[in-house]
Amino acid sequence: MTKEISLEHVWVEFGEFTAVHKANLNIAGGEFFSFLGPSGCGKTTLLRCISGFQEPTRGKVKIGGQDMRGVGPNKRPTALIFQNLALFPLRSVADNIAFPLEVRGVDKKTRRKRADELLELIALPGQGDKKVSELSGGQKQRVAIARALAVEPDILLLDEPLSALDLKLRQHMRTELRAIQKQVGLTFIYITHDQGEALTMSDRIAVMNKGKIEQIGDGKAIYDHPTTSFVASFVGENNVLDGTVLSNDGKVMKIDAGLGTPFTVENHPAGGPALAPGDACHLFVRPEALRLSKDDGAINQFETNFITEEFEGNMRHIVMNASGTDLKLSLINDGTNAIDANTPVKLDFAPEMGIALKPGELASA
């Protein structure tokens, strides 16, 4: 069974410090939902509100429509996978997995049977008698998941579960986690500061900054149509130009960014705050949206000078300078994109690839 979760105006304050600022959202049953944000933005605190280790200062956490205030962590239909996994070092792998059953008074034989089934599920069959310390990082990870699944929770909460693993294993575990979620059909709430993880696994993502949820949406919406400067600069690479709105007819915007002819921009979020003529704005153009101009007089064209290039094999990451502003440019290495380092180069971008947003806080690189 799966249950939906709703956070209603949840605030968490530690003395003067506000760790979670009016979080408001609904998570559907069976969804893979991620909280994405830089370290210290309040993700763990929010997760602890859901699991019951932290009572919100104000607001409500509802699970399956039921207010959870006063319900202890051991009474909630959630299971949490801790950032450090928190496997019991003195117990064998099987005893770790069977712990939730043990505290519920399930007899030894049934426990062992269930542990073996779960070991099967996480692809560690027959390893139940090992010590936890004898497992590799990825195996511990999977044991922690199996132990949480033994609770038979309605909601599985994961707090940066892959952060301790090396890159290869991390990428492998992403697919595996997603597969396990599909297989067991539970609601997963996943916390990460790694946008790659959030984008590849999640049905929906909430981007957080300093305790505030900035935007909720699926990966594509977050990446292609960010609604705040923070989201635009935190998720993926982005170039940002300071500009002034010249005109806005609700669909097409003209923006002067001090680079010659004003830019024509068609990508600005419908739900976002409207920009009126004369307003200052941030204009975002992703490195892969910038391209070398094929012909003179193309729309949104401007002149730049070559600074440096980083060669990555399939991609070339180039830094260009446009009247004092450094711009990143990613080009496919298909032999058609030669750049002469000594002459000015003309770049342009499609109007629908320019994102105009109200000036706001940018994520630090």
Ligand X SMILES: Nc1ncnc2c1ncn2[C@@H]1O[C@H](COP(=O)(O)OP(=O)(O)O)[C@@H](O)[C@H]1O
Contact residues for another protein, defined by CB under 8 A: 51-53, 72-74, 78-80, 82, 84, 86, 88, 90, 99-100, 102-104, 147-148, 150-151
Least distance from ligand X to the Cβ atom of residue 231, Å: 16
Among the listed ranges 27-35, 42-50, 88-96, 331-339, the one in contact with Mg ion (CB under 5 A) is 42-50
Q: What is the dihedral of CA 52, 42, 82, 136, to 10 degrees?
A: 170
Q: Quickly count: other Cβ atoms within 10 Å of residue 303's Cβ.
A: 14
Least distance from another protein to the Cβ atom of residue 23, Å: 21
Q: Among 20, 35, 44, 268, which residue sits at the site for Mg ion (rule: CB under 5 A)?
A: 44
Q: CA distances (Å), 190 to each of 34, 206, 256, 312, in order?
A: 4, 10, 40, 31
The one of ligand X, Mg ion, another protein, none whose footprint includes residue 40, by CB under 5 to 8 A per kind, is ligand X
**Interacting residue ranges for ligand X, rule: CB under 6 A:** 14, 17, 19, 37, 39-45
Least distance from another protein to the Cβ atom of residue 86, Å: 4
* DSSP string for 252-269: -EEEE-SSSSPEEE-B--
How many Å apart are CA 242 and CA 279, to the nearest integer? 11
The one of another protein, Mg ion, ligand X, none whose footprint includes residue 226, by CB under 5 to 8 A per kind, is none
Site size for Mg ion (CB under 5 A):
1
Only one residue has tokens 């070398």, namely 292
The structure tokens listed for 244 are 């002034």
Q: Which of 227, 246, 224, 186 is nearest to 352 (CA)?
A: 224
The one of Mg ion, ligand X, another protein, none whose footprint includes residue 365, by CB under 5 to 8 A per kind, is none
Among the listed ranges 37-45, 290-298, 329-337, 342-350, the one in contact with Mg ion (CB under 5 A) is 37-45
Q: Are strands 280-285 and 239-248 parallel, antiparallel or unpaired?
A: antiparallel
Helix-strand-coil percent breakdown of the chain, rounded to 5?
Answer: 25, 35, 40
The one of Mg ion, another protein, ligand X, none whose footprint includes residue 34, by CB under 5 to 8 A per kind, is none
Given the complex with Mg ion, which of 44 and 54 has the nearer CB atom? 44
Given the complex with ligand X, which of 44 and 195 has the nearer CB atom? 44
Helix (H, G, I), strand (E, B) or coil at 6: strand
The one of Mg ion, ligand X, another protein, none whose footprint includes residue 14, by CB under 5 to 8 A per kind, is ligand X
Name the residues that contact Mg ion, by CB under 5 A. 44
